[in-house]
Amino acid sequence: MTQEPTPTTSRYLTPFNVVAGIVVVVGLIITVLRFTGGLSTVTHLSDDNPWGIWIGFDLLVGVALAAGGYVTSAAVYIFGMKRFHAAVRPAILTGFLGYALVVLALHYDVGRPWRLPYPFLVSQGTTSLLFEVAACVALYLTVLFIEFSPAAMEWLGLKRARGLVVRLTLLLTIFGVMLSTLHQSSLGALFLIAPAKLHPLWYSSYIPIYFFITSIIAGLSMVIFESGLSHKFFKDKMDEEHLAGKNVVMLGFGKAAAWVLAGYFFIKVIGIAADNQWHYLATGYGAWYLVELLGFVALPAFMYAVGVREKNTTIIRWTAAWTVLGIVVNRFNICLVAFNWYLPSDQRYFPHWMEIGISVFIVTIGVLAFRFIVTRMPILYAHPDYEAH
Amino acid sequence: MSISRRKFLGWMGAAGVVGATSETARAASNKQFKGYADSNAVLHDMTRCIGCRRCEAACNTVNELPAPERPFDDLKVLEKQRRTTAQAYTIVNQHFPDGSGRPPVFVKKQCNHCLEPACASACFVKAFTKTPEGAVIYNADVCVGCRYCMVACPFDVPAYEYHKALDPKIMKCTMCHPRILEGKLPGCVEACPTEALVYGKRDELIRVARDRIHTFPERYLDHIYGEHEMGGTSWLYLTGVPFASLGLREDLGNKAAGEFTSGALGAVPIVIGLWPVLLTGIYAINKRKEKIAAEEQAAAVASAVAQTRDEAEGRLKAAMEKAKQDEDAAVAREVKKALEEAAKARQDTGQTGSGDEGQA
Ligand code: SF4
Ligand code: SF4
Ligand code: SF4
């Protein structure tokens, strides 16, 4: 035999699996601590800082980055951009996993997670923007599950059921875009009720619109970012359409992202002008605001444009990663940095390492689930027995 | 798509109007609420407060809260600024607005029982109720523990039982609602030795406060904190020094919390109504474009096919004709050949046979 012997144990003992295994074990331990000792054992949350990174990262960033699902399916099924077809399934899968993990993370954060259906079943607080968020996230998770299901059904050989679901594609896509518009924007609108707590540079009555537009930017960038990663790690799973489609998707989505970022930059500037907040720019918070606006909005807009012009997918890929980071910065600024900005520093929040531990744990579960699914189901390739939809 | 252009433009116009003026949306989405007519309130006159902390002690007793780390008669506690917590619905803070040499001013903090509470507007399970009596009360039986009420409260009042793993509650002053229903005074008001706290009808207390300001203009600022702040509260404050120097924010404005969100809430029906129509429209346009493109393509293909067929037919016909001609020619050639051969044969036999014939 010329082939190297590969005993089963070493096949699973890759560095990635070892790290993922440690993260999962630590995550499970923190889970036990959370549900026995309460939030005070594992978080630095306080009466002044009721929301930490489980909301700032897991909910706000998570939902924004999972926007690739609605952005891609809308482009292909509603706007008829068939050339991006290969990007639909990976984007839907990421979206579905993203939302599922957001809901999982909320189980850690809220006091009585088994009451999460209460807003619908027991007592409807319809004046709350959180009610809108909850309703839309619940519905959209269902929509994403149905949109994702054809891949699972092809894998399981459920031809008839798949045929039924595929016929719903347009309806599901429209419903998905509507729900996404609503909850992406209302995540920002959550902060409308606290004008006294959020720094005036970040507080704006346009904040729902900002959140909606940045979700499009996040969705486009995540699709690019993730397609880059998939091409690196799951190349063997890809068929011709996906291999060939990579550059089409990168250039197309990169171009769209450049435009949306540029538009976002301008309405942000208009927002400052409308509320006449120029004088805040001279403060420390103002400097940080400019870092966000110039470094994470203007710069990537420009870099995307350069990448598309030169047809340089390396630039586009790096810009996508940078933009995703920019989304994290933006959501953290609103939820954590600019929130309670007037409080003395000893009353401010900084995450406990175990809070970070749970967030890493949840992202790891997502990556593992993604790997499990793409190595089994027709996500990165078209199933030979089925016609594309 | 069966919507007429006019109808569609009408919808767009409606969306624009509602989006541009949140007032319209507000009128459509939730009604203006200016508090119950005969509701009660508490007036906290800081010029009378001596910082004895007896209100804190009384509150602890009537609400059966856990015993504090340091006893209530320990006034050293006042040296640090505090806020309400899950163990204390109310706290007294000490301020030196005129410098440390001058006498301090004491402020009692607790829930302000807003007329249009931010906490109630924010809660997605309606755990808070503004009662007709004036108190804003909380129902732990539906609370999910999302803590959005804490984010929303402009006065930083609600606290949370972070140490409880499975049944944490929001903790805040109840204005002693159970005692009010029994006809008693709130615990803290009853315990106050200087009448720095007075309980009564809100309208009446505002009159009382005005009277005091009017009678002792050198003692009071002409401002009843809570009369209009955040749409008005059922806890009112009087003092002689700027409220901001006492930890009572003066930048909150007079709009009730609900007014900040009504625009966004008003947009929901617009998105639900308009988006599917727009998206279906875009889909239809693209579908049509595709269909036209497909038809054009089909037509092109068909004509190409037809052309090829015609050409092919033409060629076939020509070939056939040629073949026929060839065939005819070949037949003619063959016939000619055969005839020639026959003639030749006849000649040959004629030569030999003629002799025979002649012989016969
Ligand atoms: S002070 Fe805060 S907790 Fe009290 S009623 Fe007003 S918003 Fe609610
Ligand atoms: S923590 Fe409870 S009371 Fe507060 S907003 Fe959430 S569900 Fe409502
Ligand atoms: S009204 Fe009752 S609950 Fe509120 S601070 Fe006074 S004693 Fe405490």
| Model confidence pLDDT, tens digit, residues A323-346 | 999 999 999 999 999 999 999 988
Three-class SS state of A316: helix
Q: Cβ of B272 under 8 Å from any chain A Cβ?
A: yes
CA–CA distance, B343 with B330 (Å, rounded to integer): 19
Number of domains in chain A: 1
**Does ligand 1 have an atom closer than 6 angstroms to the CB of B111?**
yes
Number of C-beta neighbours around residue A44 at 10 A: 18
**Does ligand 2 have an atom closer than 6 angstroms to the CB of B293?**
no
Residue with tokens 């503004």: B130
Distance from the A33 Cα atom to the nearest Cα atom in chain B, whole angstroms:
9
Considering only A82-86, A159-163, B202-206, B350-354, which range has the smallest mean pLDDT? B350-354
* Residue B352, pLDDT above cutoff 70: no
- Spatial contact of B234 and B131, defined as CB atoms under 8 Å apart: no
Question: How does residue B356 score in pLDDT terms, banded at 50, 70 and 90?
Answer: very low
Three-class SS state of B193: coil
Question: Distance between the two ends of chain A, CA-based, in angstroms?
Answer: 44
Q: Ligand 3 atom 2: the closest Cα is on which residue?
A: B176
In a domain, A92, yes or no: yes
Closest CA to A344 of B233, B107, B135, B81: B81
Q: Ligand 2 atom 2: the closest Cα is on which residue?
A: B143
Q: Ligand 1 atom 4: the closest Cα is on which residue?
A: B111
**Token pair in block for residue B171:** 């903790």
Integer CA distances (angstroms), B171 to A14, A49, B129, in order: 49, 15, 14
Instruction: Order the strands of the B197-201 sheet from edge to edge.
Output: B197-201, B40-45, B235-238
Average pLDDT, stretch B126-143?
Answer: 96
Partner-chain contact A79 B286, CB within 8 Å: yes
Residue with tokens 């009692």: B108
Q: Which residue on chain B is closest to A41 by alpha carbon? A: B163
Distance A281 CA to ligand 3 centre (A): 42
Which pLDDT does position B243 carry in this prediction?
A: 95
pLDDT tens digits, one per residue of B268-294: 888 888 888 889 888 888 888 888 888
**Does ligand 1 have an atom closer than 6 angstroms to the CB of B118?**
yes
pLDDT tens digits, one per residue of A71-112: 999 999 999 888 899 899 999 999 999 999 999 999 999 999
In a domain, A217, yes or no: yes
Q: Chain A partners of B151 at a C-beta cutoff of 8 Å?
A: 50-51, 190-191, 193-194, 197
User: Which of B122, B165, B275 is the closest to A181 by Cβ?
Assistant: B275
CA–CA distance, B192 with B92 (Å, rounded to integer): 12
pLDDT tens digits, one per residue of B294-340: 888 888 888 888 888 888 888 888 877 877 777 777 777 777 777 77
CA–CA distance, A143 with A175 (Å, rounded to integer): 8
Partner-chain contact A47 B83, CB within 8 Å: yes
CA–CA distance, A328 with A335 (Å, rounded to integer): 11
In a domain, A23, yes or no: no
* Residue B26, pLDDT above cutoff 50: no
CA–CA distance, B210 with B238 (Å, rounded to integer): 10
* Interface contacts A/B by beta carbons within 8 Å: 181
pLDDT tens digits, one per residue of B40-98: 999 999 999 999 999 999 999 999 999 999 999 999 999 999 999 999 999 999 999 88
* Residue A158, pLDDT above cutoff 80: yes
Angle between helices A85-109 and A240-274 (to 10 degrees): 60
The H or E element spanning position B157 is none
In a domain, A388, yes or no: no
CA–CA distance, B119 with B350 (Å, rounded to integer): 135
Question: B7-44 burial by CB neighbour count: b if 16+ within 10 A, else e?
Answer: eeeebeeebeebeeebebbbeebbeeeebeeebbbbbb
Which pLDDT does position B11 carry in this prediction?
A: 44
Distance from the B91 Cα atom to the nearest Cα atom in chain A, whole angstroms:
14
* Residue B9, pLDDT above cutoff 60: no
Show Cβ contacts of residue B350 under 8 Å, excluding neighbours closer than 6 positions: none
Partner-chain contact A80 B272, CB within 8 Å: no
User: Which of B145, B253, B261 is the closest to A192 by Cβ?
Assistant: B261
**How distant is the alpha carbon of residue A310 from its chain centre?**
28
In a domain, A37, yes or no: no
Which pLDDT does position A387 carry in this prediction?
A: 76
Range of the domain at A99: 49-380
**Token pair in block for residue A111:** 């006091």
Partner-chain contact B146 A48, CB within 8 Å: no
Identity of the residue numbered B232: G
Distance A72 CA to ligand 1 centre (A): 43
Q: Chain B partners of A122 at a C-beta cutoff of 8 Å?
A: 125, 142
The atom number, within ligand 1, closest to the CA of B112 reads: 1
In a domain, A14, yes or no: no
Helix, strand, coil share (%) of chain B residues, nearest 5: 50, 10, 40
pLDDT tens digits, one per residue of B199-246: 999 999 999 999 999 999 999 999 999 999 999 999 999 999 999 999
Beta strands in A120-250 (DSSP E): none
Indicate which of B91, B124, B167 best probes the interface with A, i.e. most A CBs within 10 Å of its own CB: B124
Which pLDDT does position B10 carry in this prediction?
A: 42
As to burial, measured by CB atoms within 10 angstroms (0-12 exposed, 13-18 middle, 19+ buried), residue B245 is: middle
Integer CA distances (angstroms), B213 to B104, B205, B220, in order: 20, 12, 5
Partner-chain contact B162 A38, CB within 8 Å: yes
**Does ligand 2 have an atom closer than 6 angstroms to the CB of B127?**
yes
Partner-chain contact A189 B264, CB within 8 Å: yes
Q: Cβ of B148 under 8 Å from any chain A Cβ?
A: yes
More confident residue, B269 or B137: B137
Average pLDDT, stretch A43-69?
Answer: 96
Three-class SS state of B124: coil
In a domain, A385, yes or no: no
**Does ligand 3 have an atom closer than 6 angstroms to the CB of B52?**
no
Among left, alpha and beta (phi > 0; psi -120 to 50; other), residue A122 is alpha
Distance B33 CA to ligand 3 centre (A): 25
ipTM of this complex prediction, to 2 decimal places: 0.92
**Does ligand 1 have an atom closer than 6 angstroms to the CB of B136?**
yes
Distance from the A75 Cα atom to the nearest Cα atom in chain B, whole angstroms:
10
Distance A51 CA to ligand 2 centre (A): 12
Considering only A83-87, A201-205, B165-169, B294-298, which range has the smallest mean pLDDT? B294-298
CA B255, B261, B267, B272 torsion-angle sign: negative
CA–CA distance, B331 with B119 (Å, rounded to integer): 109
CA–CA distance, A270 with A309 (Å, rounded to integer): 28
* Residue A152, pLDDT above cutoff 50: yes
How does strand B91-95 pair with strand B235-238?
unpaired
Compute φ and ψ for A244, nearest 5 degrees: -75, -30
How does strand B197-201 pair with strand B40-45?
antiparallel
Closest CA to A140 of A179, A113, A109, A174: A179
In a domain, A30, yes or no: no
* Residue A181, pLDDT above cutoff 90: yes
The atom number, within ligand 3, closest to the CA of B175 reads: 1
